[in-house]
């Protein structure tokens, strides 16, 4: 047998940067050529609003007052007891759930929460479903766990969940479904009505197939909603067999600190065994003892968020101006993305054209949907203002305005 120096699928992943990263790197090269202020980079979902001052206060105080060996030492593999208790209390106070510290597993952001969860439950031959458009890393995470990702086509009308297509595509091989609301890339928040109908289907299919179908709620944008009447239902209250994969990357603007958690709903069938599988998966993947300083920081700032009003202001400005130039935009209730129909059928060609005006936006294809672009408005309001003439010229190039 031929000796293979590395895993071919890993090599392929390492050599194929995502289109989002490629766009970001192009922006860095372009900034060197023409100056950062002349490049309008809307590629990355990197929070532009600083972490709350209370987070900085916590870090400063801990550095001064907490014993260094304690502060920087390993915590329990599943996370510090105090942090898990703070997380559980917070969830219970918000959603009226009966979660305990022993249902929480601390991780390194939503990415680790997802990979740990998926490895805990998926087996070769299983299918995991998700709804287009979706966060492209889902495919990487699901396939790395040995399963197949089945994509439910988008509902091109409102970008809610396409439940008709879901019912047609679900099979006895379906072990799990990942959903993400508020959604990256559309900014859409799935309505309670849609989610209830979806959970009814899941329950019916569990009964029909005679096995558990797990719901994985990927929730890094839970707090990023901009209108008082927009509610983000808590999925464990709608469906028992639910995992919540949460992250503080966006709500506290701490993406570099790599901190988040998994909730294994105590209402889930065999939840203690499933939790043990999550612990095993975290161990196998090396996601144990989540960053210790960050665990203490989130426990102390459990109800805090960054100043999200800045994203609301950005959303309002961009949506209003782009629609006035003739772009068809999906109104985003949450997250910090605007989903805009490309002005030609090929979104990749449209994004290349946008580069003529120094606008860096991401084509929809890698999100599992054609003909749209994602504009990440987690940027300064001032950059949005300066970029508006470029959006207008781009529209004019297609005969709009």
Ligand X SMILES: Cc1ncc(COP(=O)(O)O)c(C=O)c1O
Binding site for ligand X (CB under 6 A): 45, 109-111, 135, 180, 184, 218, 220, 247, 249, 255, 260
**Minimum CB distance to ligand X smaller for 278 or for 395:** 278
What the block records as the tokens of 381 is 């309001």
Q: What Cα–Cα distance (Å) separates residue 199 from each residue in 98, 206, 284?
A: 20, 10, 31
**Minimum CB distance to ligand X smaller for 293 or for 397:** 293
Q: Give the nearest distance from C-beta 247 to ligand X in angstroms.
A: 3
Residue whose C-alpha is closest to residue 161's, from 126, 196, 118, 113: 196
Q: Give the nearest distance from C-beta 255 to ligand X in angstroms.
A: 5
**Minimum CB distance to ligand X smaller for 111 or for 149:** 111
**Minimum CB distance to ligand X smaller for 327 or for 337:** 337
State the DSSP string of 100-127: -GGGEEEESHHHHHHHHHHHHH--TT-E
Q: Give the nearest distance from C-beta 244 to ligand X in angstroms.
A: 12
Between CA 258 and CA 339 the distance in angstroms is 27
CB 192 within 8 A of CB 229: no
Give, for 333, the enclosing helix (H) or strand (E). Answer: none
Residues 6 or more apart whose CB falls under 8 angstroms from that of 392 comprise: 325, 401
What the block records as the tokens of 196 is 């209830």
**Minimum CB distance to ligand X smaller for 215 or for 394:** 215
Between CA 115 and CA 318 the distance in angstroms is 34
Count CB neighbours of 6 within 10 A: 8
Question: What percent of the residues of the chain are helix, what percent strand, and what percent coil, each to the nearest 5?
Answer: 45, 15, 40
Between CA 142 and CA 154 the distance in angstroms is 19
**Minimum CB distance to ligand X smaller for 113 or for 265:** 113
**Minimum CB distance to ligand X smaller for 372 or for 391:** 372
Between CA 113 and CA 261 the distance in angstroms is 6
Q: What Cα–Cα distance (Å) separates residue 308 from each residue in 27, 188, 272, 274, 287?
A: 26, 17, 36, 35, 30
- Angle between helices 347-355 and 381-397 in degrees, nearest 10: 110
**Minimum CB distance to ligand X smaller for 110 or for 289:** 110
Q: Give the nearest distance from C-beta 169 to ligand X in angstroms.
A: 21
* Strand intervals (E) in 199-328: 214-218, 242-247, 260-264
Q: Give the nearest distance from C-beta 335 to ligand X in angstroms.
A: 8
**Minimum CB distance to ligand X smaller for 23 or for 247:** 247
Would you say how long the chain is, in residues? 401
Q: Give the nearest distance from C-beta 210 to ligand X in angstroms.
A: 31
Q: Give the nearest distance from C-beta 20 to ligand X in angstroms.
A: 9
Q: Give the nearest distance from C-beta 204 to ligand X in angstroms.
A: 27
Residue whose C-alpha is closest to residue 211's, from 185, 172, 157: 172
For ligand X, the nearest residue by Cβ is 109
Q: Give the nearest distance from C-beta 189 to ligand X in angstroms.
A: 13
Q: Give the nearest distance from C-beta 49 to ligand X in angstroms.
A: 15
**Minimum CB distance to ligand X smaller for 45 or for 52:** 45
């Amino acid at each position: 047998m031929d000796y293979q120096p590395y895993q071919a699928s890993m090599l392929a992943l390492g050599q194929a940067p995502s289109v989002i990263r490629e766009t970001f790197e192009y922006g860095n090269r372009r900034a060197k050529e023409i100056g950062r202020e002349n490049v309008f980079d809307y590629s990355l979902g990197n929070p532009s609003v600083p972490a709350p001052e209370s987070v900085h206060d916590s870090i400063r105080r801990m550095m001064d007052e907490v014993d260094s060996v304690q502060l920087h030492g390993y915590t329990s593999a599943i996370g510090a007891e105090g942090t898990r208790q703070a997380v559980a209390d917070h969830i219970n106070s918000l959603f009226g759930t009966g979660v305990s510290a022993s249902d929480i597993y601390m991780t390194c952001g939503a990415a680790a929460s997802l990979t740990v969860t998926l490895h805990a439950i998926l087996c070769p031959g299983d299918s995991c479903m998700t709804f287009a458009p979706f966060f492209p890393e889902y495919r990487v995470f699901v396939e790395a766990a040995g399963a197949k990702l089945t994509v439910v086509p988008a509902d091109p009308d409102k970008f809610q969940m396409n439940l008709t297509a879901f019912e047609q595509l679900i099979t006895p091989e379906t072990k799990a479904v990942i959903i993400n609301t508020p959604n990256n890339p559309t900014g859409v928040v799935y309505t309670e009505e849609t989610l209830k109908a979806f959970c009814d289907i899941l329950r019916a299919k569990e009964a029909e197939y005679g096995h558990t179908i797990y719901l994985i709620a990927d929730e890094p944008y839970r707090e990023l909603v901009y209108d008082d009447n927009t509610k983000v239902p808590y999925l464990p209250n709608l469906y028992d067999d639910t995992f919540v994969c949460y992250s503080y990357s966006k709500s506290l603007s701490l993406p570099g600190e790599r901190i988040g958690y998994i909730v294994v709903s105590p209402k889930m069938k065999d939840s203690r065994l499933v939790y043990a599988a999550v612990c095993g998966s975290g161990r196998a993947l090396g996601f144990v003892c989540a960053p210790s300083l960050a665990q203490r920081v989130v426990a102390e700032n459990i109800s805090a968020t960054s100043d999200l009003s800045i994203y609301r202001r950005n959303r309002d400005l961009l949506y209003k101006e782009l629609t006035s130039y003739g772009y068809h935009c999906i109104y985003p209730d949450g997250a910090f993305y605007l989903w805009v129909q490309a002005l030609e059928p090929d979104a990749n060609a449209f994004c290349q054209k946008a580069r003529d005006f120094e606008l860096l936006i991401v084509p929809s294809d890698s999100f599992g949907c054609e003909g749209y672009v994602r504009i990440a408005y987690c940027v300064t309001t001032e950059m949005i203002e300066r970029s508006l003439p470029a959006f207008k010229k781009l529209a004019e190039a297609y005969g709009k305005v």
